Amino acid sequence: MTEKRNTYKAQKRTDYKAPNFTAVDIDLTFTLDDTHTIVKNVTTFKRLTSDTKAPLVLNGEDLKLNYVKVDGIEAKYKDVKNGIEISSVPDEFTVELENVINPSENSSLMGLYKSNGTFCTQCEPEGFRRITYSLDRSDVLAKYRVTIIGPEYGCGVLLSNGNLIERGTRKNRPYAVWEDPFPKPSYLFALVAGTFDIVSDTFTTMSRRKVALELYVDRGSYDRGLWAMQSIKDSMKWDEDRWGLEFDLDNFKVVAVDFFNFGAMENKGLNVFNSVYVMVDPTCATDTAFYNVQSVIGHEYFHNYTGDRVTLRDWFQLSLKESLTVFRDQEFSSDVANRALTRLHAINVIRGPQFAEDASPMAHPVRPEEVMEMNNFYTVTIYDKGAEIIRMIHTLIGESRFKKALNDYLRKFDGQAVTIEDFLCCFEESAGVDLSQFRRWYTQAGTPHVKASWTYDEANKNLVLKLTQHTNPTRDQKEKEPFYMPIRLSFLDKDGHDVHPAELSSDGFIIFNENEQEYRFTLDKDTFPVILRDFSAPVKLDAPYTMEQLQHMLSFCDDAFIKVDCATTMQNRYVHDNLEIAAAEGVLREPAELIASYKSILDSVDAQSDLILINETLKIQSIANLMETFDKINIDAIKYAHDALETKVAVSLVNEFVQLYGKIKASSSNYSVTDMGRRALNNLALHMIAVAKCAMDKKTEASEIVFNHYNGSKNMTDKLQAMTDAVHLDLDCKSEILKSFEKDWSKDALVFDNFFRVQATVPNKSAIDNVKKLLSHPSFDGRNPNRVRALTGALALSNPVALNDISGEGYDLLCKQITELNDINPSVAARILTPLLSFRRLDEKRQGMILNNLNSLMQMPKLSRSIYEKVSTALK
């Protein structure tokens, strides 16, 4: 990027203009070379505009152009900002051009780059223009034919989208020709060339077509690809069973690469994955990793319809494909893994990072109005809040109308590039629903605060429920209109029975769409409402439950979210009520009600219990999520109260945890949902025992049990729990465990990231020193995004305590790393910068230190657009 400082301008959603030309056929020939790859590009264009004088403007970045011909004749062109302009072109014509690129030098990982010896591409959102000149926009759909000539030194496989037409050797170099029968936008183009182990299989579709499946993994890692292959088949089957969607090509290829900016990419028929989301076996990966592989494989596969077959008109519509696809992957995980766990994870993302984003200067609507750097908008708002919006539509219209509307949408817009508005209109028509007010979820940023209260009207034997909503202003919008939301409700009587009053519809939800509303239900006096079951809308709920009512719901309510939320609410109240004492480092009271509830849960655990749900209920929530329950953040006091809470629970219930520990055995080291639940709860017990022993001056015992846990298991879930406890609680066994882990795994980059992450997330200042030291560990590589995310990224995004240490060293270290990454990989740099943007929520001293750092970032030479957009927005 050679752009000068401060010249970046935002683009507006409303400035969308249809393209003057479209590309019909694109024929690409790549002659691969590490530093000098030649791209020959023959594209037929068609004029769409009635302005016959309009020139053809092609996007191109960091390309060396050799020649351009129009209909076979050398053409004149003009260099324009990030591209070229060719004037006097006919209505239909062919452009032939040749350009050169340097994959080895490409550290941004956008366009064609080299990942550990493998050539691979990433084109979403605007990476294709770094490969060749093109109409690099999502509303230009063309058919691709791709010839790949391997590098001189040879290469195992040469892959691109679609079907293999021809392969062989020419002039001693391997080549392959691919044709994709489906027209697609350039962002879905992919090329991979490298040497792999290949896991092969087949899937027979519902209309009995055989699809060849191929998964490409690092050589020597065949076994680590087997779960991902199973997940591909499960995704294909599930999409047929749940939505009637059948795979449309004769082959489906997935490639795992080590260098990748995000999780994975849905290129048509050739998904490219960050190896994190492919490579698992029980000795090297945790249960969570297995669960995530299944979910991300599903996500990318489901994009084949929601994203690839029906794509985006422009990038402001990103949530159209992402929200629908996240909703689909969540439903997949719910159906094939565990519904409660999947829902609770999704809710945690909303209540942690998404609420934080809504409260930050980068808050944006799910359909943004202004974007400077599109890479900054792959956010929890676009993805996860977007998915909550789809889920609300699903709640409002129900499964069968949703299914019909989804099929109508996919049929109506097949092969087209469309908008969120097209989607909503189609759903309105198909499901017979009015979503006019509901649209505010797409246009208004910020988290709605819903307040509930209720009274009893003795005369009419009515429970009167009153709801109010308010959304704080965000920078782009001062006034917020009320949102339209389904609030799932039930009622519990004093014996813990569910009561269904006549006024509540059989679907079990009410519509809340004004600033203030009242609802009446005919009920007995001592019955009370259970509000926001299943987190039916992405809001902050404030309901005046007594502690007894929270305990009652925790015991009797049948909704997983409500159960866990009761425990969370008790935890929140404890931290809020004790914050002042915590700020003065005083003596905190016992969380008696929470302990009582936990005791009764622990006393009743047996083989029939839902261990996943129990584990989620007993967990003390993260400091990060606790922070989001405050407007102004006193990080030291929150940490103090959090630790006091955890210690008091652990000490009071240490006997119960000791009883539990070792009682619930996983049946094998292998991943299964049942064993995941067993290990999770057993590991929680280990953690709580270790915390309790440390607080009871029995640190040696804590060390012993943790050390035995580490040595006694071959399973990475258990090993990682032990290593985390050893390091975070600074136990005697810490160095021995770290040494042993280093000996076993330092050559296995993905596994070894745990070594970095665990030390970067110690919840105190020592994490900063750990990170500084580990930056020069021989296994660390600052150009690999996974390493950066495991070390500096973990400090920034998963360790608010160390990052915000009052010394300011966390901020200095992070900004130093961001400065280095600005040139290497701006998109990763901008991501780990995120927590600093919310500096105004901290105390003045910290605000000042962050401000200094942000100001220095702004002075950086060659400041990238990604960082500029975020920092300048925060400083406004």
**Contact footprint for ligand 0A1 (CB under 6 A):** 110, 122, 124, 261-266, 299-300, 322, 375, 378
> What burial class does residue 219 get, using C-beta atoms within 10 Å of its C-beta: 0-12 exposed, 13-18 middle, 19+ buried?
exposed
Q: How far is the CB of 109 from ligand 0A1 (least distance, A)?
A: 7
Q: State the CB neighbour count (10 A cutoff) for residue 655.
A: 12
Q: How far is the CB of 184 from Zn ion (least distance, A)?
A: 15
Instruction: Please measure the distance between the N-terminal and C-terminal CA atoms of the chain and give it in whole angstroms.
Output: 25
The whole-angstrom distance between residue 257's C-alpha and the CA centroid of its chain comes to 18
Q: State the CB neighbour count (10 A cutoff) for residue 183.
A: 19
Q: How far is the CB of 322 from ligand 0A1 (least distance, A)?
A: 5
Q: Which partner from the list ligand 0A1, Zn ion, none does 16 bind, CB cut-off 5 to 8 Å by kind?
A: none
Which C-beta is closer to Zn ion: that of 327 or that of 780? 327
In the complex, residue closest to ligand 0A1 by CB: 262
Which C-beta is closer to ligand 0A1: that of 342 or that of 825? 825
Q: How far is the CB of 377 from Zn ion (least distance, A)?
A: 13
SS3 annotation, 446-463? CCEEEEEEEEEECCCCEE
Which C-beta is closer to ligand 0A1: that of 108 or that of 569? 108
Q: Which partner from the list Zn ion, ligand 0A1, none does 265 bind, CB cut-off 5 to 8 Å by kind?
A: ligand 0A1
Q: Are 487 and 437 in contact (CB under 8 A)?
A: no
Q: Annotated catalytic sites, by residue?
A: 300
453: β partners: 466
Q: How far is the CB of 646 from ligand 0A1 (least distance, A)?
A: 35
448: β partners: 471
Give which of 514, 451, 510, 452 is closest to 481, Cα–Cα.
Answer: 514
> What burial class does residue 508 get, using C-beta atoms within 10 Å of its C-beta: 0-12 exposed, 13-18 middle, 19+ buried?
middle
Contacts with 452 (C-beta within 8 Å, 6 or more apart), sequence order: 465, 466, 467, 529, 531, 541, 542, 543, 544
Q: Which partner from the list ligand 0A1, Zn ion, none does 263 bind, CB cut-off 5 to 8 Å by kind?
A: ligand 0A1
> What burial class does residue 403 get, using C-beta atoms within 10 Å of its C-beta: 0-12 exposed, 13-18 middle, 19+ buried?
middle
Q: How far is the CB of 325 from Zn ion (least distance, A)?
A: 5
Which C-beta is closer to Zn ion: that of 59 or that of 325? 325
Q: Which partner from the list ligand 0A1, Zn ion, none does 454 bind, CB cut-off 5 to 8 Å by kind?
A: none
CA distances from 400 to 262, 396, 431, 535 (A): 34, 11, 9, 21
Q: Which partner from the list Zn ion, ligand 0A1, none does 122 bind, CB cut-off 5 to 8 Å by kind?
A: ligand 0A1
Q: Which partner from the list ligand 0A1, Zn ion, none does 373 bind, CB cut-off 5 to 8 Å by kind?
A: none
Q: Which partner from the list Zn ion, ligand 0A1, none does 630 bind, CB cut-off 5 to 8 Å by kind?
A: none
Footprint on residues 382-411 left by Zn ion (CB under 5 A): none
Which C-beta is closer to ligand 0A1: that of 279 or that of 760? 279
Q: Are 140 and 122 in contact (CB under 8 A)?
A: no
Q: Which partner from the list Zn ion, ligand 0A1, none does 261 bind, CB cut-off 5 to 8 Å by kind?
A: ligand 0A1
Q: Which partner from the list Zn ion, ligand 0A1, none does 264 bind, CB cut-off 5 to 8 Å by kind?
A: ligand 0A1
Counted residue by residue, the chain has a size of 876
Q: How many chain residues are in contact with Zn ion, going by CB under 5 A?
A: 2
Q: Are 668 and 681 in contact (CB under 8 A)?
A: no
> How far, in Å, CA of 19 to CA of 139, rounded?
8
> How far, in Å, CA of 207 to CA of 212, rounded?
15
Which C-beta is closer to ligand 0A1: that of 350 or that of 688? 350
> How far, in Å, CA of 795 to CA of 783, rounded?
17
Footprint on residues 282-341 left by Zn ion (CB under 5 A): 322, 325
Q: How far is the CB of 318 from Zn ion (least distance, A)?
A: 9
Q: Residue 403 belongs to what H/E stretch?
A: helix 386-412
Which C-beta is closer to ligand 0A1: that of 299 or that of 563? 299
Which C-beta is closer to ligand 0A1: that of 245 or that of 771? 245
Buried b / exposed e along 827-836 (16+ C-beta atoms within 10 A): bbbbbbbbbb
Give which of 337, 339, 318, 428 is closest to 384, Cα–Cα.
Answer: 318
Which C-beta is closer to Zn ion: that of 149 or that of 310? 310
Which C-beta is closer to ligand 0A1: that of 281 or that of 300? 300
Q: How far is the CB of 264 from ligand 0A1 (least distance, A)?
A: 5
Q: How far is the CB of 303 from Zn ion (least distance, A)?
A: 6
> What burial class does residue 667 get, using C-beta atoms within 10 Å of its C-beta: 0-12 exposed, 13-18 middle, 19+ buried?
exposed
> How far, in Å, CA of 628 to CA of 609, rounded?
31
Contacts with 436 (C-beta within 8 Å, 6 or more apart), sequence order: none
Q: Are 562 and 553 in contact (CB under 8 A)?
A: yes
> How far, in Å, CA of 395 to CA of 393, rounded?
5
Q: Residue 577 belongs to what H/E stretch?
A: helix 560-577
Q: How far is the CB of 302 from Zn ion (least distance, A)?
A: 8
Q: Which partner from the list Zn ion, ligand 0A1, none does 799 bind, CB cut-off 5 to 8 Å by kind?
A: none
* Interacting residue ranges for Zn ion, rule: CB under 5 A: 322, 325
